[in-house]
């Protein structure tokens, strides 16, 4: 079974995100970029499936700027067999991404698509669901545990009430949650190997996918600053403070 | 236990800063067939780089001749120099700028952005750069450095193996170049082991704190380079601030304090915050936003403190070799130049042998020798220092004497002398409020499951001798609040908040008993600076 893993290049999770002064977006010049942590978990899971003999080939794909190649190389260093880079400088939106992935799924015919449950930059959590819908495939989102048995997958989903177990027929789309696994450390020899693995560049406009923007970003603003709290000496002061502010 | 991987390179370079990258690139420019790798402990090239920084561009032009067509992302020509002499309430603009501090023709850059840019150029030339891998130790065999060993990943707090544990690898190389920057941790081992500093004056340092600000529209003055001296530092303490105006109302600013300071109660971070609130400066921060914070030690010993720069199989270059021009407050052009020269030496001689002599008869030596007596002259205080600097400048460093340096860890006065008093915390209302909130702007990260990378040889000294003699200066000089003395029913205890560390190395330098040893944490740990 071939596994297709979709990954996204995002601002590293350690970086303090800064909104551009003109409110047009988040400043990314000179900022460290990484593989979205949920996507990294998806790559790791694919590698574990391959090491367990359940997957035969792991193909990793991303859509984005030239530099997004660095993220594909990271995934290749983790062990993926080859990469597809759909190149574009355009801002992508979930439905557009799903349509591009649909096209690649048609070409590659994987038995399983793995992807992060959401990207830590826009927190949409839509692409996997949309992809499953337009493919007409089953979906199992927020996977905390994944088992493959022949042409079926058992997925424990992380839901508010605990874990929900689903059985789905393959092929399917599975999106990965935080507790699914702990991604491995990359070693230098693996980085060297990754440099020699095939990376296929596909300009986005040659794929013939309708991206028609569904959304327009009007303004990006940082969350309102929280007012500093105040320590009160006793209950009496607390009550009088609350009264003063009309809260009781 | 799994087997340790071994990789072989012609040249292995430790540190992807300006010196290391210049060296790597020059190696490939001279011989494209050479296998060159660069190890970098930061998670990305440039993520640990921190400097003012105003640069002279001669060495850069030699290395990347067409850099002006494709300049580093942040690169602003200097338009104007100003030096302000501060007093508590006022500030006087000096009528003239000392010649070393004239920046006509120089550029303001971000060292972080510049090294990332240079890293891309080096990679295009075929250099293999491995960010996220820390050099843990030099591999020495029969008195010769044969390469380096990278740190293990996934080690637990107790030293055992965690899930995903990965043994470090050995990189064997015909030549290993140490370009670790100021107080490099492997360079330090090497200097000790090979007694490279036995004929040198003790090395001295400064601590630099830097902040990047986005001012309100129209408040910046692109290309303006300002420096301050004086208040809030006492005359006996060397230091000052820098305020460099970039494009788009962004300003890179910070504060440097010589680590030969004597007052054990001195708090570099608090002094800087006080200076920002000075009536002449505070206005700048109205409607402004803090973008980034960081700190790094600076090498200040100059010519007389440079260790021997070679051992069999290895060379030291850049700040790691002590090369910084203090009166100019610049080291990047020298770092680049030393990288170029080191590569040229190896290309010609195929050995590290003779490198020390080459460097000591180079233009770098000429530059450093000329100003060698200026920084040490500030032991006579700010005024004496300026008089001496004037003399040294007029005579172009031809004085027949060379002033000695003294180790920074030995300069503190004891509490018992009664000269120094604790100072209350400073809260000026300008960000960052304190060191803990400042660290948040450094985006620093250390997996807390890993062992503490700040080794304190004997924590009993902290609670007994140091508490009594110096009242634990580590709790004050650290710009990231790593060290805390915690009062517990059983008595005082040193708490090391290693996860806060911004890799500045000040503790390793200034601790009066020299019991703190800074070692590399897991590769990829530490600050994640953007454009610092």
Kindly compute the dihedral angle of the four CA atoms of residues A70, A75, A80, A86, in this order, to the nearest 10 degrees.
-50
Is A227 contained in some domain?
no
The total domain count for chain A is: 1
Is A42 contained in some domain?
yes
Angstrom distance (rounded) from CA B150 to CA B133: 6
- Identify all chain A residues contacting B531, using CB atoms and an 8 Å cutoff: 29-31
How many helices (H) and strands (E) chain A has is answered by: 6, 11
Angstrom distance (rounded) from CA B171 to CA B8: 6
Q: Is the CA virtual torsion A84, A86, A91, A92 positive or negative?
A: negative
B47 interfaces chain A, CB cutoff of 8 Å:
yes
In chain A, what is the straight-line distance between the N-terminal and C-terminal CA atoms, in Å?
A: 63
CATH of the domain at A71: 3.40.50.620
Is A144 contained in some domain?
yes
Q: Which of A21, A33, A188, A221 to mutate to test the interface with B (most CBs of B within 10 A)?
A: A188
Tell me: the pLDDT tens digits for A212-239? 778 888 999 988 888 878 889 999 999 9
B9: phi then psi, degrees, rounded to nearest 5: -130, 160
Angstrom distance (rounded) from CA A198 to CA A212: 31
Is A234 contained in some domain?
no
Instruction: Give me the domains of chain B, ranges plus CATH numbers.
Output: 6-68+113-202+302-370 (3.50.50.60), 75-110+203-299 (3.30.9.90), 408-518 (3.30.70.20)
DSSP E strands: which ranges in B142-265? 144-150, 153-155, 161-166, 170-178, 205-214, 224-230, 239-245, 250-258
Is A160 contained in some domain?
yes
Is A48 contained in some domain?
yes
Among chain A residues, CA nearest to B532:
A30
The alpha carbon of A81 is separated from its chain's Cα centroid by a whole number of angstroms, namely 19
B379: phi then psi, degrees, rounded to nearest 5: -65, -20
Is A244 contained in some domain?
no
B156 interfaces chain A, CB cutoff of 8 Å:
no
A18 interfaces chain B, CB cutoff of 8 Å:
yes
Nearest by Cα to B297 from B185, B392, B222:
B185
- Tell me what ipTM this predicted complex has: 0.88
Q: From residue A127, how far is each of A27, A39, A90, A131, A133 by CA, in Å?
A: 24, 12, 17, 6, 10
Is A55 contained in some domain?
yes
B43 interfaces chain A, CB cutoff of 8 Å:
yes
Quote the domain boundaries for residue A39: 2-215
Tens-level pLDDT at each residue, chain B (532 residues): 568 999 999 999 999 999 999 999 999 999 999 999 999 999 999 999 999 999 999 999 999 999 999 999 999 999 999 999 999 999 999 888 888 888 999 999 999 999 999 999 999 999 999 999 999 999 999 999 999 999 999 999 988 998 889 999 999 999 999 999 999 999 999 999 999 999 999 999 999 999 999 999 999 999 999 999 999 999 999 999 999 999 999 999 999 999 999 999 999 999 999 999 999 999 999 999 999 999 999 999 999 999 999 999 999 999 999 999 999 999 999 999 999 999 999 999 999 999 999 999 999 999 999 999 999 999 999 889 989 998 999 898 899 999 999 999 999 999 999 999 999 999 999 999 999 999 999 999 999 899 999 999 999 999 999 999 999 999 999 999 999 999 999 889 999 999 999 999 999 999 999 999 999 999 999 999 999 9
3-state secondary structure A43-79: HHHHHHHHHCCCCCEEEEEEEECHHHHHHHHHHHHHC
Structural tokens at position B168: 């470090």
Burial class (CB in 10 A: 0-12, 13-18, 19+), B256: buried
Q: Which of B443, B446, B447 to mutate to test the interface with A (most CBs of A within 10 A)?
A: B443
Nearest by Cα to A40 from A132, A120, A146:
A120
């Amino acid at each position: 079974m071939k596994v297709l893993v979709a990954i996204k290049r995002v601002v590293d999770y350690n970086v303090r995100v800064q909104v551009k002064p003109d409110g047009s977006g988040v400043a990314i010049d000179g900022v460290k970029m990484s593989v979205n942590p949920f996507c990294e978990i998806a790559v790791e899971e694919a590698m574990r499936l391959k090491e367990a003999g359940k997957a035969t080939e792991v193909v990793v794909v991303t859509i984005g700027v030239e530099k997004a190649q660095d993220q594909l190389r990271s995934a290749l260093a983790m062990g993926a067999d080859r990469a597809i880079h759909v190149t574009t400088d355009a801002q992508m939106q979930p439905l557009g991404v799903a349509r591009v992935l649909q096209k690649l799924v048609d070409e590659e015919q994987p038995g399983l698509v793995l992807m992060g449950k959401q990207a830590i930059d826009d927190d949409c959590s839509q692409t996997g669901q949309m992809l499953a819908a337009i493919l007409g495939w089953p979906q199992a989102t927020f996977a905390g545990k994944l088992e493959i048995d022949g042409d079926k997958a058992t997925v424990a989903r992380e839901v508010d009430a605990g874990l929900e177990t689903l059985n789905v027929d393959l092929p399917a789309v599975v999106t990965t949650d935080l507790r699914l696994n702990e991604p491995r450390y990359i070693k230098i020899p693996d980085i060297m190997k990754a440099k020699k693995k095939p990376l296929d560049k596909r300009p986005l406009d040659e794929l013939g996918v309708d991206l028609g923007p569904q959304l327009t970003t009007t303004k990006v603003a940082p969350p309102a600053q929280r007012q500093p709290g105040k320590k009160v000496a006793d209950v009496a002061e607390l009550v009088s403070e609350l009264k003063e502010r009309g809260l009781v | 236990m799994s087997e340790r991987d071994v990789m072989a390179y012609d040249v292995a370079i430790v540190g992807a800063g300006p010196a290391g990258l210049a060296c790597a690139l020059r190696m490939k420019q001279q011989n494209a067939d050479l296998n060159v790798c660069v190890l970098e402990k930061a998670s990305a090239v440039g993520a640990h780089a921190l400097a003012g920084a105003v640069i002279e561009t001669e060495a850069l032009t030699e290395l990347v001749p067409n850099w002006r067509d494709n300049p580093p992302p942040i690169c602003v020509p200097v338009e104007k120099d100003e030096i302000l002499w501060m007093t508590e309430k006022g500030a006087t603009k000096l009528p003239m700028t000392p010649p070393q501090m004239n920046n006509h023709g120089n550029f303001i850059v971000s060292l972080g952005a510049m090294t990332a840019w240079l890293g891309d150029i080096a990679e295009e030339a075929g250099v293999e750069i491995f960010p996220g891998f820390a050099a843990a130790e030099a591999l020495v065999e029969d008195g010769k450095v044969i390469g380096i060993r990278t740190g293990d990943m996934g080690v637990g707090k107790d030293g055992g193996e965690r899930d995903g544990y990965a043994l470090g690898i050995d990189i064997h190389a015909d030549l290993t170049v140490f370009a670790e920057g100021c107080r490099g941790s492997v360079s330090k081992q090497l200097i000790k082991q090979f007694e490279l500093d036995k004929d040198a004056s003790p090395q001295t340092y400064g601590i630099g704190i830097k902040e990047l600000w986005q001012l309100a529209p129209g408040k910046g003055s692109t290309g303006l380079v300002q420096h301050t001296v004086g208040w809030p530092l006492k005359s006996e303490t060397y230091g000052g601030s820098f305020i460099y105006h970039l494009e788009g109302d962004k300003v890179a600013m910070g504060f440097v304090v010589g680590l030969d300071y004597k007052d054990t109660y001195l708090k570099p971070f608090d002094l800087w915050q006080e200076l920002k609130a000075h009536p002449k400066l505070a206005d700048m921060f109205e409607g402004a936003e803090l973008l980034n914070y960081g700190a790094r030690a600076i090498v200040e010993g100059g010519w007389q403190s440079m260790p021997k720069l070679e051992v069999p199989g290895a060379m030291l270059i850049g700040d790691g070799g002590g090369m910084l021009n203090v009166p100019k407050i610049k080291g990047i052009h020298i770092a680049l130049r030393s990288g170029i020269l080191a590569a040229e030496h190896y290309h010609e001689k195929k050995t590290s042998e003779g490198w020390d002599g080459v460097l000591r008869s180079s233009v770098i030596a000429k530059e450093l020798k000329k100003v060698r007596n200026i920084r040490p002259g500030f032991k006579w205080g700010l005024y004496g220092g300026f008089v001496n600097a004037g003399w040294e400048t007029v005579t172009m460093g031809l004085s027949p004497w060379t002033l000695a340096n003294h180790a920074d860890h030995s300069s503190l006065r004891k509490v018992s002398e009664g000269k120094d008093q604790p100072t209350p915390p400073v809260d000026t209302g300008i960000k960052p409020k304190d060191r803990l909130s400042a660290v948040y702007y450094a985006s620093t990260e250390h997996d807390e499951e890993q062992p503490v990378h700040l080794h304190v040889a004997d924590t009993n000294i902290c609670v007994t001798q140091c508490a009594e003699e110096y009242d634990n200066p580590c709790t004050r000089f650290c710009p990231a609040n790593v060290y805390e003395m915690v009062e517990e029913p059983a008595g005082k205890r040193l708490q090391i908040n290693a996860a806060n560390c911004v890799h500045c190395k000040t503790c390793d330098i200034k601790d009066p008993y020299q019991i703190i040893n800074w070692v590399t944490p897991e590769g990829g740990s530490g600050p994640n600076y953007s454009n610092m």
